[in-house]
Amino acid sequence: MTTSTRVPRRLDQFVPWLQSHVTLWTGQGTPPDIGLTTQQVADLSTLADDFVNKYDLAQSARADAKAATLEQNLALDAVRAMLGGDIEIIDGYAKTTGDPGVYARAQIDPPKPGTPRETAPIPTDLTIRAGSFGDLSLSFDASKGQGSVFIIERQLRPIGGEPEAWTYADTSSEKTWTDTSVPSGIASVRYRVRTKLTNGVLSDWSEDKGFFYGTDGGVGGGESSLPFGGASQAA
């Protein structure tokens, strides 16, 4: 499959391009006006219809999966919040009664003595993986203490332009995060991560990691070897 810049790589751009060109080529009159036979254009139209139908189904399934994940996370937050409150009641009861057996009966560990942390670990080993729909999945290594979160920033470089300022992207409680809003028309995107502890202590920023689309070159760029919807490489 060609990765020429004559044909869009990103699926969200490729689908309308494909549909418009099938219509255009079908309307050219009796081939060989553009060198294609009637059968060749008809065959392409059949394959294009099949692909677009499957693309629409995949988009719908993806939206359903996002909605289900959101509902799951909301339910998880609710049950964790109530569970945390219940455990605080158990802690208060054990302290008030002076009965350490409360924890054995509840089958939970007693709280550890509080030792405030003065430093936060810096995330390392950032990696980026491209999805079929233009998303970029970021993962990294970090020591995740209870309640720690990770602040993610993003830097874009437009085609033919200089890198823009770092901007806040999201805060994640997990060591993986997916950027579902990567804009088109960029040459590269970079990410960096820092850890935030529950007491507000912040780590330094991690080393940044970039993903290059090979549109107008750039360090670590180059032409894509991925099919439509892909990009070049992380560096």
Confidence of residue 171 (pLDDT cuts 50, 70, 90): very high
Tell me what pLDDT residue 215 has: 57
Tell me what pLDDT residue 103 has: 92
Confidence of residue 32 (pLDDT cuts 50, 70, 90): low
In the sheet that holds 136-141, the strands lie side by side as 124-130, 136-141, 176-179
pLDDT of 199 strictly over 80? yes
Q: Count of CB atoms within 10 A of residue 191's CB?
A: 23
Per-residue pLDDT tens over the stretch 51-104: 999 999 998 998 999 899 889 989 999 999 999 999 999 999 999 999 989 999
Ordered DSSP codes for the chain: ----TTS--SHHHHHHHHHHHHHHHHTT-SSSSSS--HHHHHHHHHHHHHHHHHHHHHHHHHHHHHHHHHHHHHHHHHHHHHHHHHHHHHHHHHHHHT-THHHHHHT-PPPPPP------PPPEEEEEEE-TTS-EEEEEE----TT-EEEEEEEEEETTS-----EEEEEESSSEEEE--PPSSEEEEEEEEEEE-TTS-BPPPPPPEEEE--SS--TT-----S-TT---EE-
Each domain of the chain, given as residue ranges in start order, spans: 7-111, 124-234
Of all residues in the chain, what percent carry a pLDDT higher than 70? 85
Q: Which fold would CATH assign to domain 124-234?
A: Immunoglobulin-like (2.60.40)
Tell me what pLDDT residue 146 has: 63
* C-beta of residue 218 within 8 angstroms of C-beta of residue 188: yes
Beta-bridged to residue 155, according to DSSP, are: 190
pLDDT of 214 strictly over 80? no
- pTM for the model: 0.49
Higher pLDDT, 24 or 140: 140
CB burial of residue 235 (10 Å; 0-12, 13-18, 19+) = middle
C-alpha torsion 194→192→227→7, nearest 10: 140
CB burial of residue 18 (10 Å; 0-12, 13-18, 19+) = buried
How many residues can be counted in the chain? 235
Tell me what pLDDT residue 31 has: 57
Tell me what pLDDT residue 209 has: 95
Tell me what pLDDT residue 118 has: 78
Mean pLDDT score of the chain: 84
Calpha distance 99→108 (Å, rounded): 14
Calpha distance 138→127 (Å, rounded): 6
Token couple for 89: 């009641």
Mean pLDDT of 40-46: 91
Calpha distance 32→18 (Å, rounded): 20
Confidence of residue 148 (pLDDT cuts 50, 70, 90): confident
